[in-house]
Amino acid sequence: MRYSKLLTVFLCLILLTMNSTIVASTKEAIIKENNVNLRSGPGITYEKVGQVHKDETYAIRDQADGWVEIQLDRESGWVSSEFVSMEVDNVSAEAGASQSLILTVPIDKTHIRSGPSTENDIIHFASEGDEIQVMDEVDDWYKIKLNDIEGYIYKDLLKEKAKSDTEGLKGKTIVIDPGHGGNDSGAISASDALEKDITYKTAEILAQELTTLGANVILTRDQETFVSLSSRATVSNTMSADAFISLHYNSIPNIPNATGINTYYYHEQYEPLARYIQQEVIKETVDRDRGVGFGDFQVIRQNLMPGVLIELGFISNPEIDQLLATNAYQKKMVSGIVNGIQRYFAQ
C-alpha cells in the first residue's frame, strides 16, 4: 500500500515534469491581421474552413511551404505565414517578446548546407541581409528556407555578432590549435626538436599575450595529448570562436636553406584574417614572405568560425631552428599574430 502510494507520487512527479516541458517548448502563432482565412491545406487552392483574427494565439502543429498549421479548439487549419508571427522557443516569457521565425543573415557568404553537419555539401552562399525562414531545428542547426532553397545553417552563424564597443581583443574568444601532439610528433627539426613541442611553445606564449589583452583563450590540446583534427575544429565551433589559429612549422630536410612563412584559409570570407596575420608576422620576423593561399586542411575546412593555419617557418633550416628556440624570436612571431588578429577585428 505504502509502496503504491509512493509509486503514484512518483508517477505524478514524472507527469508534472513532462507537462511543463511540453508547455515550455510549444511554439505559438500570433495572428497579425483581422479576417485571415483559414484553409484545409497549405495553399490558397485549399478549401476555406474559417477565419482567425488579430492578436489571437494558437499552438503551431506544422509548417509547410510558407504556411502554418494552427490548432483550433477541435480541428486545425492552415494560414499563410505572412499573417502570423511566431513565438520562438527560447524567448523568455517574462520579456513578453515575440519574434517571428524569420532571421536576417548577418554576414556575407554564410554557408547553407544540404544537411545538419559540416560533412554535408554547401549548396548555397547566403548574402548579408538575406531573410531566411526557419522551418525546424536539428541540434545546433536550423533547417531553413531562402527563396527556393531549402537547407541547413549552423545556428551560431545567424547570431548577430555583438558590435563590440570595447577595443580589440577584450572579450573575444580565440581558439589556439598547437599543431600535432601526443603520438603525432609532426616534423623533426634540424636539431631533432619535434614540431609538436615547438607549436606548443608558441601556443603558450600566444595564449599568454592574448589573455593579457583581455581575450578568452582556449587551447585545443595540452602539452602531451593527441587530439583528432575534427575535435579541434569542433572546439572552435562549439565555443563560437571569434578566431581559430592553427600553428604549424614546415620542413624540407633535403633543402636545409628553405625558409619562409605562409598562412592558409579555407573559407574565402576568412581570407582577410589570413592576410593580416601573414603581413604582420612577416613585418615582425623579417622571414621570407611565402604568401597567403587557400589550403584544404581539415581543421580549417570543418571550422565554421574565422580560421587560419599558419606555417611559421622551416624547422629543417638550422638557422631558423636555432631562432625558434629563443624567447625573443617566439615573441616576435606572437606579436605578429596578435597584431594581425587585432587588424581583423578592427576592420
Residues near Zn ion, by CB under 5 A: 179, 186, 248
Nearer to Zn ion, 39 or 290 (CB): 290
Nearest to 236 by CA among 187, 295, 305, 294: 305
- 215 contacts 174 by C-beta, under 8 angstroms: yes
Strand-pairing partners, residue 55, are none
| 3 state SS of 148 | coil
Q: How far is the CB of 248 from Zn ion (least distance, A)?
A: 3
* DSSP secondary structure string for all residues of 193-206: -BHHHHHHHHHHHH
Q: How far is the CB of 171 from Zn ion (least distance, A)?
A: 30
- 285 contacts 329 by C-beta, under 8 angstroms: yes
Q: How far is the CB of 191 from Zn ion (least distance, A)?
A: 17
Nearer to Zn ion, 232 or 248 (CB): 248
210 residue type, one letter? L
Which stretches of the chain are DSSP H helices? 2-25, 195-212, 229-238, 271-285, 298-301, 318-324, 327-346
Q: How far is the CB of 302 from Zn ion (least distance, A)?
A: 17
Nearest residue to Zn ion, by Cβ distance, number only: 248
Nearer to Zn ion, 19 or 185 (CB): 185
Nearer to Zn ion, 110 or 246 (CB): 246
Instruction: List, in order, residues 6 or more apart from 4 with CB less than 8 Å away.
Output: none
Cell of 220: 585545443
Q: How far is the CB of 339 from Zn ion (least distance, A)?
A: 23
Nearer to Zn ion, 86 or 299 (CB): 299
